[in-house]
Amino acid sequence: MQRIIRFRNHSIFLILGGVFVGIVLFCALISIIYLPDDPMATNSMTKLAAPSADHLFGCDHEGRDVLSRVILGSRPTVIISLLGILIALLLGMLLGSAAGYFGGAPDHFLMLISDSIMAFPGILLALVFVAVIGKGLPGLIFGLGIVFAPSYARIFRTGIRQLKDREYILLARLIGVKPPRILFVHLFPGLVPQLAPAIVVGIANMAMAEAGLSYLGQGVQIPQPSLGNMLMEGQSYLVYAPWIIIFPSIYLLFYVLGMYFLSEGVRMKFKTGGV
């Protein structure tokens, strides 16, 4: 009984984060089967219309329903941030494990590459990669995935270097366990406390980067809505129709803030320190 009543700090973060992220995820999912209005249909009658019963979030400069656009626009944010992190994680796992497990020359080479990538401000390199791979979902997912990979490579490398000389690993090698099995069964589980919060924060940062790229016109292309390009389009109407940017802002904030809260909760649960 006492355990239930006692104030559990990390569960507050997990619940709050879960609710915030849940709202955005729910919208992204629901957009597949239902939208309150056609998000692409322009209508000269409802140009810059204020929020009302017909259009809960109001209408934008082309008379499009902001609610529908926000719901549809949260889809690229969710897809890109989740798949992008998956790519970053896979790349980071591959490079970081190779560097950490083998050491020596491969380690030096891979770390030089990763240092070089980290020497750029993230958004700058993302701009370059997206320009190469192409604007639109695949370009954003792979471009951001490559940019975010080095930080995961680092976690894998450091963790594996710390763990690989432990006795249980030496014994596993001694009885002839193959390196892939050692990595997946014996080493990676030990990295979860560092990885889990880093992954969740990465999702948030990637959502912000995607919004930034779309805002700069280098991400999701108009008229396809995304939270970032809605901010770009709506900015000129800030004075007359602030709702055009307020609602996408709130959605983006929910997603990012929610992910940060989740990561804080996860971190407290695993009791790992750090920023």
CB of 252 to another protein, least distance (A): 6
Phi and psi (nearest 5°) for 273? -85, -150
At its nearest, how many Å lie between another protein and the CB of residue 74? 14
Site size for another protein (CB under 8 A): 45
Between CA 149 and CA 98 the distance in angstroms is 14
Write the interaction track for another protein spanning residues 69-108; mark x where CB under 8 A is met and - where it is not: ----------------------------------------
Task: Round to whole Å and give the CA distance between 164 and 102.
Answer: 10
Q: What share of the chain is helix, strand, coil (3-state, %, to 5)?
A: 75, 0, 25
- Residue closer to another protein by CB (options 154, 157) is 154
The one-character DSSP state at 49 is: P
* Cβ 52 to another protein shortest distance, Å: 21
- Residue 193: both structure tokens together: 């406390």
Cis peptide before 223 (omega within 30 of 0): yes
Q: Are 187 and 162 in contact (CB under 8 A)?
A: no
101 to each of 91, 105, 179, 188, how far by Cα in Å?
15, 12, 9, 12
**List 19, 41, 115, 166, residue binding another protein (CB under 8 A):** 115
Binding mask 209-248 for another protein (x = CB under 8 A): --xx--xxxx---------x--x---x--xx--x--x---
120 binds another protein (CB under 8 A): yes
Q: Which is nearer to another protein, 63 or 242 (CB)?
A: 242
The site for another protein (CB under 8 A) is made up of: 112-113, 115-117, 119-124, 127-129, 131-132, 134, 204, 207-208, 211-212, 215-218, 228, 231, 235, 238-239, 242, 245, 249, 252-253, 256-257, 259-261, 264, 273-275
